[in-house]
Amino acid sequence: MRKILLGIAITSVLFTSCSNDDDINLNPQVEAPLTYKFMRDGKSTVDFNGQTTRIKMAMEFRSALKNTTKSASDLYGMFAHVEGGNDFSEADLNASGKNIRSKVAASKEYFSANTTVSNQIKSLMDSWIEQQATTVFENWENIATAGTAGQLQQAGGGSVRYVNGKGLELDQAIAKTLIGGLMTDQMLNHYLSTSVLDEASNIQNNDNSVLEEGKPYTTMEHKWDEAYGYLYGNEDDPSVPVLGADSFLNTYLKQVDSDPDFAGTASAIYDALKLGRAAIVAKNYEVRDAQVAIIRENISKVPAVRAVHYLQVGKEKLATGDMASAFHALSEAYGFINSLQFTRQPNASTPYFTHEEVTGFMDTLMEGNGFWDVTDETLDDMSQTIAAKFGFTVAAATN
């Protein structure tokens, strides 16, 4: 009996994702486009207008925190804008139904089941806004002393800093808290979270290229883009970001990346955002989730590195007697420390530091007369604790 052997040739065709959302990917391999551009039927599928709006609101709000003609009500109106309110210089911002406050400490994974802490964080910012208008503005021309708000000029005729009775620049505390409480929290713990990306029928709809009504994108694609927008939404060309485009996460990522000890942080984030978006197009959620871990680790590094940096700069300036420069640096550190509770450990569901730990740091800095009394030992201990948690050295962050 003769045996007949049949040779079977198996041909595998590999499809890799590019900047065209119509490409079909039948293989786990995913290729990122050169820039953050994704098209479907000749139309861009990238949309993060809401994020751009909030960044613009935050930029104007930040500037207003040093405008003594503004009342507490004026400042709060910018923070918690109501559609149609005359709070901003741009008509489009006034017409918007979006605002800053509603998205602070509002991520699904951290705060949907923890509204008590979310409200505490919002209330603290409300109190800072009130104090800026009613205490700091009221003492704008007075010289600050321990326990009394006022102004201090940096050594050598430098910038004038305006502080409360504990030496804290409230505008800096607010601005740096927004980096964590708005941009970082929404990015890492909301739009890049599995609970948002994969919510309801998002996977099924993405697998079948079911688009949002009247839009050129799937819901999952859009959620990823909204995360992208909180970092790059104010860029002239967001698809090819250059950084330094706002006063928040975008600019401080640039500062961290410019330190040789942390060079490559910006490119790691940008590359992961591109590849993760391409993976969604390719319907490859394993690759997508691997990019989320990379993004979380590197974005979280930003407030940590800058917190340690400014704690050490503050210590150095205190030694020279330049209280204005010292308090300015320590105020930035204070806001970045508050932002640490919004960070996210990769492949985990927790921040690097909890709300309670962050509150402990902030309370320690404000003990007694606050920055007027703070010791080198306190600043060094805090710096070491933060740096160790993130796996870098205090010396590396001090550059």
Structure token digits, residue 381 = 């201990």
DSSP state letter for 74: H
**Residue at token pair 């000749």:** 42
Give the number of other CB atoms < 10 A from CB of residue 163: 28
DSSP bridge pairs for 151: 143, 162
Given a contact cutoff of 8 angstroms between Cβ atoms, the answer to whether 267 and 82 are in contact is no
SS3 content of the chain, % helix, strand, coil (to 5): 55, 5, 40
- The reported pLDDT for the residue numbered 208 is 98
Report how far residue 179's alpha carbon sits from residue 303's, in angstroms, rounded to the nearest whole number.
8
What pTM value is reported for the model? 0.93
- The reported pLDDT for the residue numbered 12 is 33
Q: Which residue from 140, 131, 145 is spatially nearest to 174, judged by alpha carbons?
A: 131
Given a contact cutoff of 8 angstroms between Cβ atoms, the answer to whether 295 and 272 are in contact is yes
Q: What 3-state DSSP class applies to 168? A: coil
Kindly report, residue by residue over 237-264, the tens digit of the pLDDT: 999 999 999 999 999 999 999 999 999 9
Structure token digits, residue 82 = 């109501």
Give the number of other CB atoms < 10 A from CB of residue 103: 20
- The reported pLDDT for the residue numbered 198 is 98
- The reported pLDDT for the residue numbered 18 is 41
- The reported pLDDT for the residue numbered 196 is 98
If you write DSSP's letter for every residue of 361-377 in order, what string do you get? HHHHHTSTTGGGT--HH
The ranges of the chain with pLDDT < 50 are: 1-27
Q: What 3-state DSSP class applies to 208? A: coil
Report how far residue 205's alpha carbon sits from residue 32's, in angstroms, rounded to the nearest whole number.
22
- The reported pLDDT for the residue numbered 28 is 55
If you write DSSP's letter for every residue of 23-39 in order, what string do you get? ----SS-----SSS--E
Element (H, E) at 185: helix 185-186
Cα Dmax for the chain: 108
Report how far residue 118's alpha carbon sits from residue 124's, in angstroms, rounded to the nearest whole number.
10
Structure token digits, residue 4 = 């007949």
Report how far residue 233's alpha carbon sits from residue 261's, in angstroms, rounded to the nearest whole number.
27
Q: Which residue from 114, 108, 57 is spatially nearest to 80, judged by alpha carbons?
A: 57
Question: What is the per-residue burial (b if ≥16 Cβ within 10 Å, else e) of 245-255?
Answer: bbbbbbebbbe
**Residue at token pair 């796996």:** 391
Give the number of other CB atoms < 10 A from CB of residue 14: 10
- The reported pLDDT for the residue numbered 7 is 37
